[in-house]
Structure 1
Amino acid sequence: MNLIGRASVTDEVRLRVYNRIAWRFLPLLLLGYLFANIDRVNVAFAKLQMSGAIGLTEAMYGFGAGIFFISYALTEIPSNMILHRVGARLWLARIMIVWGLISAATMFVQTPVQFYSIRFVLGIAEAGFYPGALLFMTYWFPSRLRAQAIAVMILGSTLASMIGSPLSGAIMGYMNGLAGLAGWQWVFVIEGLPATILGIVLIVRLRNGPADAEWLDADEKALVIADLAAEAQAHIHAGRHRFSSAFRNPNIWCVIVANFANLSTLYGIQFWLPTVIQKLGGTSVFSTGLIAAGLALIPCFVLFANARHSDRTRERRWHATFGFALSAAGLYLAGASNGNVYFTLMGLVMASSGQVICSNTIFTLPGTFVTGAAAAAGFALITTLGNLAGYTMPYLFGVLRESTGGFSAGFYAMAAVALVGAVAILVTPALRREGRGGAGEEEALAIGA
């Protein structure tokens, strides 16, 4: 079973090396991103019981869920620059150990202010994991394989819904009152601490770069280092390696807007999906979890189909544009469904499918625009400003929900933002110049291929 699928005979040795690297690290990054997204899913489910227990209104929940991203954004760039200096092994492990402990401590909140406070602190603790993991991939994989490597990690987002949703529903349904704790308190304990355990594993398993990999022989190290050096040299000649280069690069700013629009779809759905399902479908907490899990299946397949096709054709612009268009269409359908649960959920599946296409495609781009310290700053800048969507959209959705009494206005707002993302990708200068990339040999990173 290979992480690399078909390849030309001349590239067989090279791709075998990248297969070994992929199997060594990608499952760990997948788990890390899975736990990070379960940390989003659990608060969305905990809300169903916690709101009444600690006195949260819809808007207050949206504010508390979103304030996590304010502190996250404030500390993300410094976090990524520290990772670039001290190495991914230590820094990613530190992030996971601390965030797992703080997430579990959410069980102790008793008031809305305490909820806001611990969400803010959790954002500081978790800041840097996602952009740090993306930056880590640029230390190991050349750009032609990066979309598929990123797709493996992004799979954690859909798996979080498939695993975290029914798990949260089961915990809240069957552990409520156990040992004197409410079901929502058990959710934070059981789903928070695994991140701490994985952080300890990362210290043992991760390596900062090919030169540190004792499990690669000298020839294999030289091969990977040479591949990455060739790409980096092109950026250095173009002056795209300095820290300040990321802030002056118009392509980076276009991607920032696109990422903000895409994360508006992700977090708008992620933080409100359980409420939408329960209100429109009248389901129990456990049934709500099962439905949410089922809705994640189609985006999971869409993610890998897009990654393979995008890497094979070396084309990013129209893949991302299609993703945004699909998200906007799905969100419009959800808003226009007039409370029909089936059409609403169909629209949200479409929107989620478009969102994973965009996530997968967007984050292949920064490593082709800049390198070195500029790449570290670029990834962090994109995720920092993009993650402000995690504050604005859940909060806006909550306000619109309270003011209109329904979900349609929130879905329409998300659809409009998705269209802005499509425009940002279409006007990105580097993508306009390149047009459609030529198709090369298919080199596919795919679990189970």
Structure 2
Amino acid sequence: MATDNAVIEKTFTAPEKNIIYRKVAWRIMPILLISYIVGYLDRVGISFSKFQMMPDILNGNVSMAEAVYGLGAGVFFIGYIIAGVPSNILLSKYGAKKVIALLMVVWGMISMLSIFITNPTQFYLARFLLGLAEAGFYPGVILYLTLWFPSSQRAKMTALFVCGIPVSNIIGGPLCGWIIENMNGVMELSGWQWLFFISGPRALLIAVVIFYFLDNTYQNAKWLTPEEKAVIKEDMAETAPRKLKDGAVAVKEWTMKTMLKSSEFTKMWLICFCTVMGQGGLAFWVPTIIRDTGVVSVMDIGLLTMLPYMLAVVAMLLAARSSDKYRERRWHIIVPFCIAAVSLVFIGLFPDNKYVVMAALCVAVASSLVPSPLFWSLPNAIFTGACAAAGIALINSIANIGGFISPYIIGYFKQLTDSNLVAMIVLSSMMLLGAILTYTVPAKLVNK
């Protein structure tokens, strides 16, 4: 304790603190990012496997393919919703390395077993079970980052983690296209079966890495010096309370009961719901939207899929850096919401013009992904105490109802109208609702 007290009395400059947080980031963020990429490649894979899988499990009757696929993509989020809170409570109790590693093993095994799907019912069951397995990972990591970084650093780190979504699409698009076209028929397996089978060993390998190299908290990290741990501890303490104008400190003591009854909680899951509606709807349908413009080759579709997600990586990192630099949260979420709303409508208005669709798709994907990491700065600034772990998971779980609704909406209206316009208008309206709700969050609660 004497050493810690001596360290705390030392004054560290901002550049010196940044060096410490870069050290932390380089140690834990590559593991978390690769883990998310491995997990999210499953969602990339299902969007490409659709082209071969639907005719196979429907015995060639493709008249219901869009609706069956949309429902299957959405059923994933039912399992995700059910298991989100229990998984995060387990993570809070037993630590990230054990729980996340176990989740990776389970979803790797389920993905490998998906090669045996032969009908829609089995497809729905496999997606449901996969949702159960993946449920704790995303909210668990959001909670995990709060144990390592103060709020002034968290938007950048969360954005870096969520970059796993666009990066997995950048990698996965061409990879999935190549597997579908070149491994179809190898060892009497279809290309879509190879997509599922290959994803299993990836997850099992990263589970081993997580278990042996990921520390639960900065206090447990042997690779941090006592001085570095003291700096992190001090920064955490400084950013946790909210200072009032008279210099007093106001920290609301939250319990699960008061949190669930609060308007703040309702507003948080509604905003998160809007982000999930936008990014979730597009995630499962980008390859199909590109194909509908006249692109035939699955490999070409995979290459074109890279473009919107490359833009998304740049947009997410720049927005997060700007948000942390200026300590401003709301408008960094509101503006992308509004841009996404406009670009989504353009996708529906010009479905046959590949140039307009690709331009609108690039903007829509990037702008719909930007609010996702920035959003978590809102509940993390508002909710503190023992209920934080369950609160984050519950917000994520309730909001992921949008993950069930959005892909199904696109499939349903596409089947009904042979057009994306109605579905894109629905998603656009959700983006506008997200912008309005974010504007109603008091700036003094979250801009820190």
TM-score w.r.t. length of structure 2? 0.91
2:150 pairs with 1:142? yes
Tell me the equivalent position of 1:25. 28
Alpha-carbon distance, 1:426 to partner = 1.1
2:91 pairs with 1:83? yes
2:127 pairs with 1:116? no
Of 151-160 and 276-285, deviating more is 276-285
**Cα distance in 1 between the residues matched to 2:250 and 2:99:** 30
Tell me the equivalent position of 2:3. none
The one of 44, 48, 51 equivalent to 2:51 is 48
2:271 pairs with 1:258? yes
2:382 pairs with 1:369? yes
**Cα distance in 2 between the residues matched to 1:426 and 1:9:** 36
Q: What is the aligned-residue RMSD (CA, Å)?
A: 1.9
**Cα distance in 1 between the residues matched to 2:258 and 2:162:** 27
Alpha-carbon distance, 1:191 to partner = 2.6
Moved over 6 A (4+): none
Alpha-carbon distance, 1:278 to partner = 1.2
Task: Summarize the Cα distance change of 1:338–1:72 in structure 2 as closer, same or farther, 3 Å threshold.
Answer: closer
Alpha-carbon distance, 1:91 to partner = 0.8
**Cα distance in 1 between the residues matched to 2:189 and 2:110:** 18
Alpha-carbon distance, 1:239 to partner = 3.1
Q: Structure 1 unaligned runs (5+)? A: 1-7, 439-449
8 Å CA contact retained: 1:329, 1:350: no
Task: Summarize the Cα distance change of 1:289–1:426 in structure 2 as closer, same or farther, 3 Å threshold.
Answer: same
Tell me the equivalent position of 1:4. none
For each residue in 1:143-188, what CA deviation from the matched residue of structure 2 results, as whole angstroms up to 9, or x when unmatched? Answer: 0000000111111111111001110000010000011110000011
Tell me the equivalent position of 1:349. 362
2:253 pairs with 1:240? yes
For each residue in 1:222-281, what CA deviation from the matched residue of structure 2 results, as whole angstroms up to 9, or x when unmatched? Answer: 221232234446699623353444323423321211111111111111111111111222
Alpha-carbon distance, 1:9 to partner = 7.8
The one of 175, 184, 193 equivalent to 1:176 is 184
For each residue in 1:182-216, what CA deviation from the matched residue of structure 2 results, as whole angstroms up to 9, or x when unmatched? Answer: 00000111133312211111011111112111111
Task: Summarize the Cα distance change of 1:275–1:338 in structure 2 as closer, same or farther, 3 Å threshold.
Answer: closer
Tell me the equivalent position of 1:400. 413
Amino acid at match of 1:58: E
The one of 325, 332, 357 equivalent to 1:319 is 332
Alpha-carbon distance, 1:89 to partner = 1.3
Task: Summarize the Cα distance change of 1:250–1:240 in structure 2 as closer, same or farther, 3 Å threshold.
Answer: farther
Amino acid at match of 2:106: V
8 Å CA contact retained: 1:328, 1:415: yes
Alpha-carbon distance, 1:414 to partner = 0.8
**Cα distance in 1 between the residues matched to 2:86 and 2:318:** 34
Alpha-carbon distance, 1:332 to partner = 1.1
Q: Structure 2 unaligned runs (5+)? A: 1-10, 59-63, 244-248
**Cα distance in 2 between the residues matched to 1:331 and 1:34:** 25
The one of 187, 206, 222 equivalent to 2:195 is 187
**Cα distance in 2 between the residues matched to 1:88 and 1:232:** 22
2:107 pairs with 1:99? yes
**Cα distance in 2 between the residues matched to 1:52 and 1:180:** 16
8 Å CA contact retained: 2:337, 2:431: yes
Alpha-carbon distance, 1:308 to partner = 0.9
Tell me the equivalent position of 1:267. 280
8 Å CA contact retained: 1:42, 1:188: yes
**Cα distance in 2 between the residues matched to 1:296 and 1:219:** 39
Amino acid at match of 1:43: I
Tell which has more relative contact order, 1 or 2 (C-alpha 8 A, sep 6+). Answer: 1
Alpha-carbon distance, 1:286 to partner = 0.9
**Cα distance in 2 between the residues matched to 1:80 and 1:135:** 8
Amino acid at match of 2:39: A
Q: How does 1:188-337 map to 2 (within 5 A)?
A: 188-232=196-240, 238-337=251-350
8 Å CA contact retained: 2:293, 2:351: no
**Cα distance in 1 between the residues matched to 2:176 and 2:97:** 30
For each residue in 1:282-323, what CA deviation from the matched residue of structure 2 results, as whole angstroms up to 9, or x when unmatched? Answer: 321111111101221111111111011111010011111101
